[in-house]
Amino acid sequence: MSLLQEFLFDPTDRKIPLDQPPLENLPQWGHWIETPEYMVAIVPPGHLEVNLCSPLNLVATSFGLTQGVAAFDSARLKPYKATPGGFDIVPQGSTYRSVEDASCFVVFGYSQAFLSHSVAEGETVELLPGQIFKTHWGLSAAIAIQEFFDNGQLGGAFYLESVVTAVLGQIIYRRSTLSQRFKRPPEFLEPQLLKNVLDYIRANVSQPLNLSNIATIIGLSPYHFARAFKATTGIPPYQYVLQCRVELAQQLLQDKRQSLAEVAIEAGFGNQSHMTTVFRHVLQTTPKQYREEKGLPGNCISIG
């Protein structure tokens, strides 16, 4: 069962009137995906009027130039511009008011609990309202989310968690109460720690996996674990998990007594549709075609 809930909104009027008190509900504009701890949305370009008291820690980045007037946790509207690769930060409980002509943009929303356990390793941390100007990784994050939506959510909840965690780590490093004390991730995982992680993934590949439960094995935050894993192996954790699941599905497909839906569940994909999406991307075939061909050798990368 997927942890992701999906919503698609297409209202004709994208306004929260500025003469009303700030609302604590997120606007219903664009394409949203939510979990209990975070959400991601892609909002199409257009004219926006916003008056919001944020129920989550919000981080937004745009694909193009956005201009208008805005106020971050202030009553005074000032000239406002957002450029590709930059970020707007609206902490939970703070206000954001604007009248803007916006390009397509991505919004990340985080619960306060997610801030602490995913990046800050339990420390108290608060985001600071305002802007981070153009970065080399901001537009890449937006493109990664766009591709996730366009490619049938390839990688699933694990992939989405990886992207939102990476973005949050950069925001905390640059604009939070923890910025000056932010712990640097290890440059690599020691061999025994890496073995522990790989053994855990292989033993639990049929079960729902995420950064949090894997990172706990070696006592790191999900953010620091993901960076160290990629530095050590050359690929992010979600990709290694996908590879293990594809390899297991290849083995299970040899038994034609199992339905494709049963193979998908046992291999950890959650449902047959997601398994088919991953097979097409990784092996350029479908599980059904793979089974009919009696299992051609897979092309997954082996680690360890």
Pick the range with the lowest mean pLDDT from 151-155, 167-171, 218-222.
Answer: 151-155
Pick the range with the lowest mean pLDDT from 157-161, 177-181, 195-199.
Answer: 177-181
Which of 250, 274, 281 is closest to 3 using CA atoms? 274
237 burial type by CB count under 10 A (0-12 exposed, 13-18 middle, 19+ buried): buried
Most distant CA atoms of the chain, gap in Å:
67
Name the DSSP letter for residue 180. G
| Domains located in the chain, CATH noted | 5-174 (2.60.120.10), 185-304 (1.10.10.60)
Q: What is the reported pLDDT for 92?
A: 96
Token match 């591709």: residue?
Answer: 147
Q: What is the reported pLDDT for 96?
A: 96
Q: What is the reported pLDDT for 151?
A: 84
Indicate the pTM of the whole model. 0.87
CA atoms within 13 A on the CB side of 69: 7
Asked whether residue 295 carries a pLDDT value surpassing 60, the answer given is no
Q: What is the dihedral of CA 154, 157, 163, 169, to 10 degrees?
A: -170
Report the pLDDT averaged over residues 86-99. 96
Please, what is the average pLDDT of the chain? Answer: 89
Phi, psi at residue 252, to the nearest 5°?
-70, -30
Asked whether residue 120 carries a pLDDT value surpassing 80, the answer given is no
**pLDDT of 29-53, one tens digit each?**
999 999 999 999 999 999 999 999 9
Q: What percent of the chain has pLDDT over 70?
A: 94
How far apart are alpha carbons 258 and 160 in whole angstroms? 30
Asked whether residue 296 carries a pLDDT value surpassing 60, the answer given is no
Q: What is the reported pLDDT for 2?
A: 53
Q: What is the reported pLDDT for 299?
A: 42
Asked whether residue 303 carries a pLDDT value surpassing 60, the answer given is no
Asked whether residue 302 carries a pLDDT value surpassing 50, the answer given is no
Asked whether residue 186 carries a pLDDT value surpassing 80, the answer given is no
Pick the range with the lowest mean pLDDT from 9-23, 183-197, 213-227.
Answer: 9-23
